[in-house]
């Protein structure tokens, strides 16, 4: 990380604990010298370690061509305080808008991929596309997380979960039950 | 639905609003005359309507063979009150346990598929497998939701979201932001 940000290494073995609960995430790409970002809820874990993640990026999205052609992206996870920016990101297209500047997000160079991290997010996952067999039919990409970062200054971040048409539930209480599952 | 349960038709166009927020769900299968159920967090929406859903069912799970061979399942969504049963489901295998009876869940015949609905869940989605190309490499199935049910007596159900090792966040407040997205 650069710019004096406080991001720390996050062990790849813990990535599933961030994505499995289904938060809205941001997906950054970089294509033809320009970074872009979209909001995304259609993602899931596929494997623990190395972490594999599947996601759907509609071919109607400006990010689709960037992801398919560069095979690189960053999944950045925003906490509740970024919710208005998340919706602003979803309400415009990279075709017309330089979103990082227009919306006020700080791009930070990643270590393993070209798309930027987002300084304001509490976690950032550098990813490359590892399977494209379901892209033509379903716009479904399989990604490998190469490097993960977390911001230790954001303690117990509450994430948001999309229910459609701008309605989001915010993380409530955490409960702990005796489970044998990872 | 049978048995006098209060389940109602749920429009297929609204299914994404249930799964997109990332709740822990239950997956029922039926194979060789026997129903089984597992807990699952690795799922995502793939298309709005007809609703397509991707999920990962590990080949270490007893449900894997049933899903691959019968190509049918039901995704049942439990609210917070079922959390102890959800964990109990995850803590044992259908190889050794008749889970519906042992854990105290009520199977209800589905309309379009052989696996049962779960009466205690606030929504049930009858599904068939429509793509298996990523099963061998990633245990990733693509499902089509054929029929959806909701229980109108469970108002504003709070779902649970798994963070690993038996830690779950419960849905908190709902916020509404002005979004152009579906």
Query: Tens digit of pLDDT for each residue in B156-170?
Result: 999 999 999 999 999
User: Once rounded to an integer, what is the mean pLDDT over residues B65-93?
Assistant: 97
ipTM of the complex as predicted? 0.95
Span B97-121, mean pLDDT?
97
CA distance B64 to chain A (A): 15
Mean pLDDT of B112-138: 98
Tens of pLDDT, residue by residue over A120-137, are 999 999 999 999 999 999
- Find, in chain A, the residue whose alpha carbon is nearest to that of B156: A169
Tokens of residue B135, six digits:
């099963």
Residue of B nearest to A135 (CA): B46
Identify the pLDDT of residue A3.
Answer: 55
- Distance CA(B110)–CA(B124), nearest Å, equals 9
Average pLDDT over residues A20-40: 97
Closest CA to B45 of B36, B37, B32, B54: B54
Distance from CA of A119 to the nearest CA of B (A): 23
Calculate what percentage of chain A has a pLDDT beyond 70: 97
> Using CB atoms, which residue from B41, B52, B182 is nearest to A164?
B182
Among A138, A150, A158, A180, the strongest candidate for a mutation testing the B interface, having the largest count of B CBs within 10 A, is A138
Mean pLDDT, all residues of chain B = 96
Q: What is the pLDDT of residue B1?
A: 43
Model pLDDT for residues A156-171, shown as the tens digit of each residue: 999 999 999 999 999 9
Q: 10 Å Cβ neighbour count for A158?
A: 17
Residue at token pair 């930070």: A108
pLDDT tens-digit readout, B13-46: 999 999 999 999 999 999 999 999 999 999 999 9
Binary contact (A166, B179; C-beta < 8 A): yes
CA distance A74 to A66: 12
CA distance A54 to A46: 6
Whether residue A45 and residue B39 make contact (CB cut-off 8 A), yes or no, is no
CB atoms B20 and A161 under 8 Å: yes
Q: Could you tell me the end-to-end alpha-carbon distance of chain B, in angstroms, rounded to an integer?
A: 30
Q: Is B174 in Cβ contact with A170 (below 8 Å)? A: yes
What is the pLDDT confidence band of residue B6, given thresholds at 50, 70 and 90?
confident
Percent of chain A residues past pLDDT 90, beyond the cut: 96
pLDDT(B3) > 60: no
Q: Spell out which residues of chain A touch residue B23, defining contact as CB-CB under 8 Å.
A: 22
How distant is the Cα of A64 from the closest Cα of chain B, in angstroms? 15
- Report yes or no: A91 and B180 within 8 Å, Cβ to Cβ: yes
Q: Decide if pLDDT at B5 tops 80.
A: no
Average pLDDT value for residue range B126-150: 98
Q: Which of B138, B157, B158 to mutate against chain A (most A CBs within 10 Å)?
A: B138
| Cα separations in angstroms, A44 against A17, A70, B22, B34, B140 | 11, 21, 9, 29, 10
**In angstroms, what CA-CA distances link A157 with A108, B93, B159?**
20, 34, 18
How far apart are alpha carbons A89 and A93 in whole angstroms?
Answer: 8
pLDDT score, position A1: 43
| Mean pLDDT value across chain A | 96
User: What pLDDT is stored for residue B25 in this prediction?
Assistant: 98
For A82-104, what is the mean pLDDT?
A: 96
Give the minimum alpha-carbon distance from B180 to chain A in angstroms, rounded to a whole number.
Answer: 6
Number of A–B residue contacts, CB under 8 Å = 192
pLDDT in tens, A32-69: 999 999 999 999 999 999 999 999 999 999 999 999 99
Contact A56 B39 (CB under 8 A): no
User: Across the interface, which of A55, A171, A177 has its CB nearest the CB of B166?
Assistant: A177
């Amino acid at each position: 990380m650069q710019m004096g940000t406080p991001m720390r290494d996050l062990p790849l073995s813990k990535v599933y604990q961030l994505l499995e609960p289904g938060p809205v995430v941001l997906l950054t790409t970089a294509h033809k010298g320009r970074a872009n970002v979209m909001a995304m809820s259609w993602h899931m874990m596929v494997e623990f370690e190395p972490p594999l993640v599947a996601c759907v990026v509609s071919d109607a999205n400006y990010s689709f061509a960037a992801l398919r052609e560069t095979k690189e992206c960053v999944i950045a996870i925003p906490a509740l305080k970024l919710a208005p920016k998340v919706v602003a990101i979803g309400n415009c297209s990279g075709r017309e808008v330089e979103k990082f500047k227009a919306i006020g997000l700080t791009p930070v160079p990643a270590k393993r991929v070209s798309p930027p991290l987002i300084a304001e997010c509490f976690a950032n996952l550098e990813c490359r596309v590892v399977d494209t067999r379901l892209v033509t039919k379903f716009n479904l990409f399989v990604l490998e997380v190469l490097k993960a970062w977390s911001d230790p200054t954001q303690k117990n971040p509450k994430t948001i979960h999309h229910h459609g048409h701008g309605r989001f539930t915010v993380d409530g209480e955490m409960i702990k039950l005796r489970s044998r599952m990872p």
